[in-house]
Amino acid sequence: MGIEIFGLPMMYYIAMVAKVLVAFVFVLLTVAYATYAERKIIGHMQVRLGPMRTGWHGLLQPIADGVKLFFKEEIVPSQSSTFAFLLAPLIALIPAFITFAVIPFGGVIEVAGYKIPLQIAAYFDTASGRVYDINVGVLYILAMSSLGVYGIVLAGWASNSKYSLMGGLRASAQMISYELSAGLAIVSVFMLSGTLSLNEIVLQQSGYNGLNWYAFKQPLALFLFFVCSLAEINRTPFDLPEAETELVSGFCTEYSSMKYAMFFMAEYANMVTVCAITATLFLGGWQGPFVSSFVLLGPVYFIAKVYFLMFFCMWIRATLPRYRYDQLMYLGWKVLLPLALVNIVITGIIGYFIK
């Protein structure tokens, strides 16, 4: 334990690698089984069964899909811009996963006398006895979520196909419109919290009953942020960039094999990320009853909240048809953006008088 690298104990590095591995594998598995869950849930909502053949009730379906995609023929269109075409799936996929670096998924656990905060980019300082994480964690998340759109735009442009280009253009227009409202929606949360550190925001929402959740103080912000996030990650009812009825498959029309799978994974990883952010900012993150006495309950509560929100996403997908493009723009600029601004003003006024 005495060995130190760059002024940090060996345990820090071991814990970091372990946290990264656990979180990454967990997100990957969640992504894989989110596809299965989505097919099952939407199937049952349409009074169908969903996948039933591969394994018990189709439980091996994600693995079968993965193997199939892995062995499919890799096609790079001859007229495409090859480098950008190959780069685009990576740009789409990586930001979706690295957002998890700042999301706290539990309290501080103690392993062999060393205290580990359950948040990847965080460090427990023994001298001051508190957790230090990235103090602009939310900004980092917003930056990463806007990075993902580059992958989609690049894919659309590099494919050299009109459907792909249309999909990419729609994606960029949609993401710019909705990122604004999403960003403004969570500003009102920061006005209450006074910090951008996700760890701090979660700690402020502690308590047995969950009444400290920002969902109760900022219900409008929760609604706005969730709707805008759905639009940002291109999920129904805002899945215009890949509207099958109009654009074949949108930006990923020309993609096949593993590159297509990467877009697919990015889409679901984004869904997991957005649900995790919503749970962290509004639903108290890993906070819940008895979490102060049993630290390991933290991840359980966090996962439960994330899965509930993911179920909600799928529920919405089974319910709502796709918005028309002009409706999408109308909703983004003329409804959600003013609402977010009004919410900030109201939060400011109330905050001024109550504080």
Partner 1 sequence: MNPITPILNGLKITLAHLFKKPVTLQYPTERPKVAARFRGLHALNVSHNKAKCVACYLCPTVCPAKCITVEAGEDANHDKYAAVYEIDMLRCIFCGYCVEACPVDAIKMTGEFELANYRREDFIFSKERLLEKK
Task: Burial-class residue 133 by CB neighbours within 10 Å (0-12, 13-18, 19+).
Answer: buried
Cα–Cα–Cα angle for 209, 132, 229, nearest 5°?
A: 60
Q: Which pair of structure tokens corresponds to residue 222?
A: 């929760």
Minimum distance of partner 1 from residue 44's CB (angstroms):
5
Minimum distance of partner 1 from residue 41's CB (angstroms):
7
CB nearer to partner 1: pick between 161 and 278: 278
CB nearer to partner 1: pick between 53 and 355: 53
Minimum distance of partner 1 from residue 354's CB (angstroms):
28
* Nearest-angstrom CA–CA distance, 231 and 224: 11
CB nearer to partner 1: pick between 50 and 299: 50
* Nearest-angstrom CA–CA distance, 181 and 179: 5
Minimum distance of partner 1 from residue 321's CB (angstroms):
9
* Nearest-angstrom CA–CA distance, 86 and 255: 10
Minimum distance of partner 1 from residue 336's CB (angstroms):
12
CB nearer to partner 1: pick between 316 and 341: 316
Supply the DSSP symbol for 240. G
For 353, residues 6+ apart whose C-beta sits below 8 A from its C-beta are none
Minimum distance of partner 1 from residue 220's CB (angstroms):
12
Supply the DSSP symbol for 9. E
Nearest to 15 by CA among 141, 125, 122: 122
CB nearer to partner 1: pick between 122 and 227: 227
Residues engaged in binding partner 1 (CB under 8 A): 41, 43-49, 52, 315-316, 318-320
CB nearer to partner 1: pick between 102 and 313: 313
